[in-house]
Every structure is written in structure tokens, then in C-alpha cells.
Amino acid sequence: MRAYMRDRFEFLGITSAPRRELTRQVLKGRPGPAERDLTEVALGCWALPEREYQYFACDYLRRYAAALTPAALPAVRTLITTKSWWDTVDILASNVVGVMVAGHPALVSTMDAWAAGSELWLARTALLHQLRYKERTAADRLFGYCARWAGERDFFIRKGIGWALREYARTDPRAVREFVAAHPELSALSVREATKHLEKQGREVEPNNPR
């Protein structure tokens, strides 16, 4: 497990299924926590060396994300920018920050600031926070973030752009096609990820094309 994460973290060696079962056992029967409890537990888990504790914190926050208010954002920001890697950042982006922004639209300005800043993991969070929004996606904002980072060479940003566009393509494939066509500066990785399902759709309709 440590090798898979490029030796960045220590692990207890508990795989996903038993870890999630342990999480269910720990939380079973407990009342919904207050916001302060959520952030204190999460930060406490982040202070421990083994990665499974951070996974628990992500699952804990995801479970009660609807209870989080803008007051919790500084703590969540700390989690994103500390011990940062895709395995925790992506869960926090789409399942915690995304829920917070949907419930508290004033946080959109924070996403704009993260997307405009130089901290790559915050930028990836801004790119991915609308991942589950589907028809509620603010397309102009999503495309603006992607255009802002289109020339970035960092792998996780390029991958994040492609992933965000690919998910939105399930809702509005035409808009994604037009955006990709209008932005040749997008990396090959971003384009490949963004158009993965669009290319499949094209192959599926091709046999019926009279030309």
C-alpha cells in the first residue's frame, strides 16, 4: 500500500472493505456530530502518521458534509493542503467541498480564489468541486477554471481538468465538445479524458451514418 502511494505515507495495512466496516462500527448508533466535533476529529486524524486515519476522516466528513458551514472551510482547507495527494483531495473536493458550496453559495467566491491562486491542490479542488452537480453545474465557472489552467504541466491539474470535463459531458456533451475545440492549449491528457465518453458515443452512432 505504501509503494502504491509512492512511499509518501505510512499504512496500517487495512484494506478498503474492512476499513469501511470498522468505520461503520465506530459510527453506528452515534448521534450526528456538531460541526466542531467533525473538524476536530478530522484534524486529529490528520495528525496521525498512518494513512487509514486520514481515510476515516474523509469518510466522516463526507457522511456529515451537509452539516458543515463556511466556518469549517479553514479546517477543510488545511486537510487539502496538508499531506496532500489525490486519494484524500479528490474525496474532499467532490464529496465535502462540493456539498458545502452547494449549500452555501457564498463559498463560490472562495472557489474562484482557489482556482485563481497558485496552490495546485486547491486549484484541483476548485476544478472538481462540481463533479457531482450534473445539471446544476455552473458551466461558465467550470470552463473558466479549465481555461485558466489549460496550459499547466502538472499531471494532477491536467488530469483534473479532463475528469471534470468528462463528468460534465454526461450532462452537456455539446458544450464540452465546443470547449475542447475552442481551446487547443489543453493538454493531450486533458483532451483524452474529457472526450473519452464522447468518442464512444460517436462510435456507437457511426454504423447508422448514411455517409
What is the model's pLDDT at position 9? 97
First to last CA, the chain: 51
Measured between alpha carbons, how far is 193 from 188 in angstroms, rounded to an integer?
A: 9
Are 49 and 8 in contact by the 8 Å Cβ rule? The answer is no
Would you say residue 211 has pLDDT above 90? no
Interhelix angle for 139-148 vs 108-116, to 10°? 20
What is the model's pLDDT at position 197? 84
Measured between alpha carbons, how far is 11 from 136 in angstroms, rounded to an integer?
A: 38
Backbone angles phi, psi at 133, to 5 degrees: -80, -25
CATH fold match for the domains 1-115 and 130-211? no
- Reduced to 3 states (helix: H, G, I; strand: E, B; else coil), residue 183 is coil
β partners of residue 10: 50
One DSSP character per residue, 39-100 reads HHHHHHHHTSSBHHHHHHHHHHHHHTGGG--GGGHHHHHHHHHSS--HHHHHHHIIIIIHHH
- In this structure, the dihedral spanned by the alpha carbons of residues 83, 89, 91 and 95, taken in order and rounded to 10 degrees, is 120
Rounded mean pLDDT of 111-133? 98
Q: How many CB atoms lie within 10 A of CB 110?
A: 20
For 5-54, how does the pLDDT look when each residue is reduced to its tens digit (9 = 90+)? 999 999 999 999 999 999 999 999 988 899 999 999 999 999 999 999 99
pTM, whole model, 2 decimals?
Answer: 0.91
Split at pLDDT 50, 70, 90, the class of 207 is very low
Are 74 and 112 in contact by the 8 Å Cβ rule? The answer is no
For 127-156, how does the pLDDT look when each residue is reduced to its tens digit (9 = 90+)? 999 999 999 999 999 999 999 999 999 999
* Domain segments of the chain as ranges: 1-115, 130-211
Pick from 135-144, 174-183, 202-211: least confident: 202-211
Specify the CATH class of 1-115 in words.
mainly alpha
What is the model's pLDDT at position 200? 63
Are 194 and 176 in contact by the 8 Å Cβ rule? The answer is yes
What is the model's pLDDT at position 30? 87
CATH number of the domain at 130-211, please?
1.25.40.290
What is the model's pLDDT at position 210? 32
Q: Which one is predicted more confidently, 204 or 140?
A: 140
